[in-house]
Amino acid sequence: MSFSLGLTGSIGMGKSTTAKLFAAQGCAVWDADAAVHRLYGKDGAAVAPMQAAFPEAIEDGAVSRAALKKIIGADPDALKRIETIVHPLVAQDRAAFRAQAKSDVLVFDIPLLFETGGNAEMDAVACVSVDAETQQQRVLARGTMTVEQFRHILQKQMPIEEKCARSDYVIETDTLEHAEAQVAGILADIRSKLSHA
């Protein structure tokens, strides 16, 4: 029996880096964003249903994220329709990963874990966290969004304090070494529980 660990946190808090630390310690990692990329890619499972609902979102046989942004910007209700198409496909992708993964600990990297109720499927949840100043610096350093866009994303996400309070483990990502030590500690805790189960 594998142990399912949900990994969540807000934008710019080091979730992807932390997921890599878990992978380096022998965990199988499922990434929600990567799953969406697969579904949206050429011949991806989301292409046909999205084409039926939003033909203007398809470019070169794939779903265009840029086109989706425009559609959502013009029609606030479009997001809900997109989610009803994509969420079940993401759940199928996650189930397929779970069925074939061989590791004792499966890590599910899901940014909106609590917001979507995905935490109910997990044996435990780890939340990555860092102070607000570091978070903003990291996000803006990517050069992909403005301060306004960053604040807008934060408003749509559950406050990090609440995510941390609802999680079984909190990983402070102030330095890579510190994060690595905490990941090792969490896995030691989980694996000791597994060996006594």
DSSP 2-47: PEEEEEE--TTSSHHHHHHHHHHTT-EEEEHHHHHHHHHSTT-TTH
Q: Which two tokens stand for residue 11?
A: 């934008």
Please report the pLDDT score of residue 155 as a whole number. 86
95: confidence class by pLDDT, cuts 50, 70, 90: very high
- Three-state DSSP class for residue 64: coil
Which of the four pLDDT bands, split at 50, 70 and 90, describes residue 135?
Answer: very high
- What is the tens place of the pLDDT at every residue in 153-184? 888 889 999 999 999 999 999 999 999 999 99
Domain definitions of the chain by residue range: 1-27+105-197, 34-102
Angstrom distance (rounded) from CA 62 to CA 52: 13
CATH among 3.40.50.970, 3.40.50.300, 3.30.200.20, 1.10.150.120 for 1-27+105-197: 3.40.50.300
Write down the pLDDT at residue 196.
84
pTM of the predicted structure, to 2 decimals: 0.91
How far apart (Å, rounded) are the C-alpha atoms in residues 92 and 47?
A: 15
